[in-house]
């Protein structure tokens, strides 16, 4: 299994174990998606809020732990 992580601050990466261009791509795209996911949850129920986001794809799973200031993104290849 390969596990890669990066941390974000308002779309700007702070630390990463990936290469720069991939990190920037993930950062930008997932920041937007997380904001959209959060507003979806709060639109349905204003008392609720997003705690965790997981995206499952053919090749791996992306996990996002959101916060007021930061995002932690982890990409995992689940084994067979």
The span from the CA of 42 to the CA of 3, in Å, is: 31
Site pattern 23..62 for another protein (x: CB under 8 A): xxx-xx-----------------------x-x-x-xx-x-
For the bound state, the minimum distance from the C-beta of residue 43 to another protein, rounded and expressed in Å, comes to 24
Strands (E), 1-80: 3-9, 12-16, 53-56, 61-66, 70-76
Q: How far is the CB of 6 from another protein (least distance, A)?
A: 10
Give the side-chain half-sphere CA count within 13 A for 34.
27
Q: Return the structure tokens found at 72.
A: 């932690």
Size of the site for another protein (CB under 8 A): 32
What is the rounded distance in angstroms from the CA atom of residue 78 to the CA atom of residue 61? 7
Binding residues for another protein (CB under 8 A): 1, 3, 7, 9, 11-14, 20-21, 23-25, 27-28, 52, 54, 56, 58-59, 61, 63, 65, 67, 69-70, 72, 74, 76, 78-80
């Amino acid at each position: 299994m390969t596990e890669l992580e990066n941390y974000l601050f308002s779309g700007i990466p702070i630390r990463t174990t990936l290469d720069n261009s991939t990190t920037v791509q993930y950062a930008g795209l997932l920041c937007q998606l997380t904001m959209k996911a959060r507003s979806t949850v709060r639109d349905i129920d204003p008392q609720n809020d997003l705690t965790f986001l997981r995206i499952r794809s053919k090749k791996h799973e992306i996990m996002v732990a959101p916060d007021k200031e930061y995002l932690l993104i982890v990409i995992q290849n689940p084994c067979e």
